[in-house]
Amino acid sequence: MGCDIHIYAEVKENGEWEKVGPVFDDPYYAPERPLSDWNQPKIDQPYVGRNYDLFAILADVRNGRGFAGVPTGTGFVPIAAPRGLPNDVTPGVEAQADSWGRDGHSHSWLLLSELQGYDWDQVTTHVSYYTSVQWESTYRDSVGEHFFKTITALQALGHPDSVRIVFWFDN
């Protein structure tokens, strides 16, 4: 069973947090297909993807373990342990989180300044449970370019201490 992330951006304006609407490029958008709920050029989630290394870094989810607890390496130093939803989460994001009920877990949030200030050049060791192979990579390489495009998109929204991501996972 896979684990997915549900992630939204919020911006603080005039002392209040506001959910960011559909301004992010959908990496799966196919212009040759008809528009639908599943095929839109712009979406309200800044990151769409399944990268367990990223999940480990954001909230210690699947850290060093894969499906059924299989070891995948030494793991990562998380930016922060899951914090829960912010006390001042926007109603739209809270409704999305609530809709997952017990299937949603490890709710958390991070400021853009925390993402920018994190040491993405740390090194971790990966292992393959199919063969006796291990290798090292930086956290940056483990997460991949797609997430750094997300950070760039978030930077366009405002000051790093006034932009945050709110997220949770499901299995």
Task: Write out pLDDT tens, residues 106-147.
Answer: 999 999 999 999 999 999 988 876 677 889 999 999 999 999
Give the pLDDT of residue 127: 85
Q: What tokens does 12 get?
A: 């603080």
Give the pLDDT of residue 73: 85
**Do the Cβ atoms of 78 and 84 come closer than 8 Å?**
no
pTM above 0.75, yes or no: yes
Cα separation, 68 vs 60, whole angstroms: 16
Give the pLDDT of residue 66: 76
Give the pLDDT of residue 158: 97
Give the pLDDT of residue 70: 81
Question: Which residues of the chain fall short of a pLDDT of 50?
Answer: none
| Core vs surface per residue 39-61: b (16+ CB within 10 A) or e | eeeebbbbbbbebbbbbbbbbbb
| % of the chain beyond a pLDDT of 70 | 98
Q: What tokens does 67 get?
A: 């499906």
Cross-strand bridge partners of residue 73: 126
Give the pLDDT of residue 103: 95
Give the pLDDT of residue 27: 92
Q: Give the Cβ contact number of residue 118 at 10 Å.
A: 19
| Core vs surface per residue 132-170: b (16+ CB within 10 A) or e | eeeeeeebeebbeeebeebbebbeebeebeebbbbbbbb
What lies within 8 Å, CB to CB, of 148 at 6+ separation is: 140
Give the pLDDT of residue 164: 98
Q: What is the tally of structural domains in the chain?
A: 1
Cross-strand bridge partners of residue 135: 126
Structural domain boundaries enclosing 94: 4-170
Give the pLDDT of residue 1: 65
